[in-house]
Every structure is written in structure tokens, then in C-alpha cells.
Amino acid sequence: MLHNENDQQGHLLRNILLFGRLLRAAGINIMPAQIIDLAEGLNHIDIRSREDFKNSARTIFVSKR
């Protein structure tokens, strides 16, 4: 079971990285540190909650300048 859990975490991390690249391609300035912050922050939320995940990503990725 641990192997499957690690695979799922690996897929999630890969998807977070791809999402960061997609945001950059769309012209949104996403720094590598923000991607790392999101990945680490997911340890503190229930990632099964779409709303919690979305709010975490929004908090880390969105800033007004």
C-alpha cells in the first residue's frame, strides 16, 4: 500500500509542476519557490478537499502588485 501512496504523491507533484509551467506559459509569473511552497503546504491540508487545495494554490500563486 505504501508503494501506491508514493506513486500518487509523485503524480501529484508532477501535476503541480506542470500546472506551474502552464501558468508561466500563460504569462503569470510563478517562481520555483512558490511551487515548492505549494507542494510542502499540501502536507497541512486534506488534499481530497478540492476547495482546500484550490484555496492553498490561490494563496501561494496569486499576488497583487
Cβ atoms < 10 Å from Cβ of 20: 21
With contact defined as beta carbons under 8 Å apart, do 65 and 28 qualify? Answer: no
Element (H, E) at 33: helix 32-41
pTM: 0.74
In this structure, which amino acid lies at residue 53? F
pLDDT tens figures, 21-62: 999 999 999 999 999 999 999 899 998 899 999 999 999 988
User: Is the model more confident about 8 or about 60?
Assistant: 60
Write down the domain spans for the chain: 2-61
pLDDT tens figures, 15-25: 999 999 999 99
